[in-house]
């Protein structure tokens, strides 16, 4: 009986100390790693898009300021040329003044042509600015979509992590072994005390069971002796048959 109890205790401890099967957790961990990798990739793409957007905005502002300065300078030059032409036309009476006036007029016409060219360039710049605005809006929409997707992947990864940490694998022993890394020192000491108390209680129960078995064996031996006496009495009075049966009964009680 003691040997059987020791074997059962060893087998029970062996079952308790079996580690969790890694196959039950391989798939959720793989899904979690894939979700985290996708989340990181989307974050990097989002940072790149934000960087491109800032660069486009800065380039647009610089180009707009440049064309504004060019238009202002041309307007000033045109105004000065017109004022000079009108002054020469009013004061010019000789041929030299007429030639100077014609030269100034030609310069004014050249300035007008230059102004027209700059106006055309400004129109082109405004068109480019409009296109940049459309690109900016589309980029913002794309960034918003990627941000939403990134948040969704992050929530999915968090949900998978929570499900992985809170789900029950197959039994209390596996759950306890899996949760050892998350327990503090005080909780582990309490668990050790409970295990020691359980071992002592079980040892006392085994000892009491062994004592009860020994007591029953002793009483059975007494009854077996009585059976043997009855067998001998039967042999004395009725022959060998009763004695053999009584002896057999005493042997069974002794066992």
* Topology of domain 26-167, CATH: Helix Hairpins (1.10.287)
- pLDDT at residue 92 greater than cutoff 60: no
How far apart CA 9 and CA 200 sit, in angstroms, is: 13
- pLDDT at residue 244 greater than cutoff 60: no
Domain coordinates of the chain in residue numbers?
Answer: 26-167, 181-255
Cβ neighbours of residue 82 closer than 8 Å, sequence gap 6 or more: 108
Distances (CA, A) of 168 to 17, 22, 26, 33, 145: 17, 13, 15, 21, 36
211-240 tens-digit pLDDT: 776 676 665 544 444 444 444 444 443 443
129-181 tens-digit pLDDT: 888 889 889 988 988 998 888 888 878 777 776 666 666 555 555 555 556 55
Write the DSSP assignment of 127-152 as a string of letters.
HHHHHHHHHHHHHHHHHHHHHHHHHH
- pLDDT at residue 208 greater than cutoff 70: yes
47-64 tens-digit pLDDT: 898 898 889 888 888 888
Q: Which residue has 């295990």 as its token pair?
A: 195
What is residue 234's three-state secondary structure? helix
> Which pLDDT score is estimated for 119?
86
Which one is predicted more confidently, 245 or 183? 183
Per-residue confidence band for 104, with pLDDT thresholds at 50, 70 and 90? confident
Q: What is the pTM of this model?
A: 0.27
Residue 224 contacts residue 197 (beta carbons within 8 Å)? no
Q: b or e along 28-42 (b: 16 or more beta carbons within 10 Å of the residue's beta carbon)?
A: eeeebeebeebbeeb
DSSP state of 18: P
Q: How far does Cα 137 stand from its chain's mean position? A: 31
Q: What is the mean pLDDT of the chain?
A: 70
């Amino acid at each position: 009986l003691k040997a059987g109890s020791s074997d059962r205790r060893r087998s029970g401890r062996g079952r308790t100390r079996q580690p969790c099967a890694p196959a039950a957790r391989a798939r959720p961990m793989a899904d979690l790693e894939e979700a985290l990798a996708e989340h990181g990739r989307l974050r990097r793409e989002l940072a790149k898009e934000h960087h491109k957007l800032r660069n486009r905005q800065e380039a647009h502002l610089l180009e707009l300021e440049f064309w504004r300065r060019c238009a202002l300078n041309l307007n000033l030059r045109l105004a000065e040329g017109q004022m000079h032409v009108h002054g020469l036309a009013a004061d010019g009476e000789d041929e030299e003044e007429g030639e100077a006036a014609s030269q100034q007029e030609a310069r004014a016409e050249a300035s007008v042509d230059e102004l027209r060219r700059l106006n055309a360039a400004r129109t082109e710049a405004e068109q480019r600015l409009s296109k940049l605005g459309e690109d900016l809006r589309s980029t913002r929409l794309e960034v918003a979509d990627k941000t939403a997707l990134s948040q969704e992947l992050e929530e999915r990864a968090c949900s998978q992590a929570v499900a992985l940490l809170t789900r029950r694998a197959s039994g209390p022993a596996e759950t306890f072994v899996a949760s050892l890394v998350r327990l503090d020192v005080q909780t582990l000491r309490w668990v050790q005390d409970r295990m020691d108390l359980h071992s002592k209680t079980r040892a006392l129960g085994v000892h009491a069971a062994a004592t009860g078995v020994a007591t029953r064996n002793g009483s059975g031996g007494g009854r077996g002796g009585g059976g043997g006496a009855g067998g001998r009495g039967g042999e004395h009075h009725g022959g060998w048959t009763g004695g053999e049966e009584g002896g057999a009964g005493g042997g069974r009680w002794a066992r």
